[in-house]
Structures are given as C-alpha cells and as structure tokens.
Amino acid sequence: MLALTHVSAGYGPITALDDVTFTAAQGQITAVLGANGAGKTTLLRTISGLHRPRAGTIEFDGTRIDRVSAERMPGLGLSQVPEGRGVITELTVEENLRLGGLGRGGRVAPSDLTRIYDLFGVLGDRSAAMASTLSGGERQMLVIGRALMARPTMLLLDEPSLGLAPRIVTQIFSLLRDLVRDEGLSVLLVEQNARSALSVADRGVVLNLGRVVADAPANELAADDQLRHAYLGF
C-alpha cells in the first residue's frame, strides 16, 4: 500500500536517503530500523510531505504522494506521530485529541473520542487534566491517540519507545498490534530499539547511512546474528 521507489533525499550537500526502495503492506507493522543518523526521521518526513525528495517516487494506495503537501496527507489516510511526543501542554488531554480530528475537516464526533478512551483507558481517566501533567508514557499515548483521531489507514511513528520504561513500551507496542489485528490499520514504525520493534513487527527494513541494507520478515532479521551485531545493536 505504501511503496517507495528509488527515493533519495538530503540537506544541502548531505545525502540522508540514498536510493531507498521498499514497500509497507496493508494491515501489517513494518519496522524501519537503524542507528543514529541512519535517515529514519528523514524517511518519515519525506513520506509525510514535510521534506521533498530529490529523486524517486512514493505511492500510497496507488496514488503518487511525493508531491503532495503535508496538510493533505491526513485526508489521504496517512497520519504521522512525530518524534518527541509534542503535546500542547496548555491544553487538556481532550482538547489535544480534538485537534487531531480537525485535519479531516468535519466536526469531532463523540464516538471518535470514546474510541480513543477505549483504547487508552488512562486518557479517558485524565481527559480533563492538562497535558502538562502527563507522564512520558501517557504523552506518547496522547500523541498516538491524536493521530488516530484523523482515522488513518496508515500510522507513521517516529521512535515512540525513546526514553520510556520497557513495561510502557511493551504496552504501547501491543496496543499497535491490537489496532492492526482489529481494525486492519497499517503501521510504519521507525525505531532504534530494534529488539522491541522486531518483536511486534511483521517485516523490517534496516537503514544504514541512508541505504537499505536489509528488508525481510521480522523473525528472520531477529535471527540474523551478523546483521544484529552490525546494524541493530542487540
């Protein structure tokens, strides 16, 4: 459903993505793995229209999206959860969630909110609390909930596990798994935490210095000692 073909991107003289080709299938979790500076964030920003590729094509559901502006992506079913869990701390949990529903143009239905509160019970319990009072894990849930308010068919996540306790990471990843199973959501999960990401993903793409060095089922990547030691850090 998402297909990148010979995509290159960079910043001035720096090449951050070099001839990247892979697909992320519908109803699956595709993990994009790689060390610091591998190009993971550039990849997500290029897919979501925040960064213009220098070469190559990106297709989503059969439509070319590499010239589509970021504002139009939620309308096409692509919703990004950026790095760093940026919630608006001066707004309540519910107000933050409502912002995620605005991208679709219409009004936010009560059922959109109850759906998120069913998924993340803690957000329902704290719906009237200021977002500034949330823990790191709760903020990560809030930014995921906010992205889901746009009712995406594919969710793009940039390092959701960063800085969170292993127990919270497991909770968030198993929730993504449930969404894929129950709603047919597709997920592109960018992670440096390769061990956790591969435990939940169907497939994995490994980037090194902007190039794809492996693309295989997640269990095969996890079982490849040489690859793990060279690129995945576990």
Ligand X SMILES: Nc1ncnc2c1ncn2[C@@H]1O[C@H](COP(=O)(O)OP(=O)(O)OP(=O)(O)O)[C@@H](O)[C@H]1O
* Residues of this chain that bind ligand X (CB under 6 A): 11, 14, 16, 34, 36-42, 192
Instruction: Sort strands 55-60 and 29-33 into parallel, antiparallel or unpaired.
Output: unpaired
Beta carbon of residue 20, minimum distance to Mg ion (angstroms, whole number): 15
Partner from ligand X, Mg ion, none contacting 126, C-beta within 5 to 8 A by type: none
Binds 77: which of Mg ion, ligand X, none (CB < 5-8 Å by kind): none
Q: Write phi, then psi, for 191 (nearest 5 degrees).
A: -150, 145
DSSP string, the chain: -EEEEEEEEEETTEEEEEEEEEEE-TTSEEEEE--TTSSHHHHHHHHTTSS--SEEEEEETTEE-TTS-GGGHHHHTEEEE-TT----TTSBHHHHHHHHHHTTSSPPPHHHHHHHHHH-HHHHHTTTSBGGG--HHHHHHHHHHHHHTT--SEEEEE-TTTT--HHHHHHHHHHHHHHHHHH--EEEEEES-HHHHHHH-SEEEEEETTEEEEEEEHHHHHT-HHHIIIII--
Beta pairing partners, 155:
79, 187
C-beta closer to Mg ion: residue 116 or 155: 155
| Nearer Cβ to ligand X (40/146) | 40
When the beta carbons of 42 and 186 are compared against ligand X, the nearer one is 42
Report the nearest approach of ligand X to the CB of residue 163 (Å): 12
Shorter beta-carbon distance to Mg ion: residue 43 or 172: 43
Q: Which residues of this chain interact with Mg ion, rule CB under 5 A? A: 40-41
Closest to ligand X by CB, 11 or 182: 11
CA distance 157 to 200: 14
Q: What is the smallest separation between the CB atom of 202 and ligand X, expressed in angstroms?
A: 21
CB of residue 198 vs Mg ion: minimum separation in angstroms? 18
Q: Decide which of ligand X, Mg ion, none touches 103; Cβ closer than 5 to 8 Å per partner kind.
A: none
Structure tokens at 52: 């213009």
Give which of Mg ion, ligand X, none residue 29 binds (C-beta under 5 to 8 Å, depending on kind). none
Picked from Mg ion, ligand X, none, the partner binding residue 36 (CB below 5 to 8 A depending on kind) is ligand X
Residue 149 or 221: which CB sits closer to ligand X? Answer: 221
Least CB distance to ligand X at residue 183 (A): 28
Supply the minimum distance, in Å, between the C-beta of residue 12 and ligand X. Answer: 7
Tokens 């990148």 belong to: 4
User: Which of ligand X, Mg ion, none is residue 226 near (CB under 5 to 8 Å by kind)?
Assistant: none
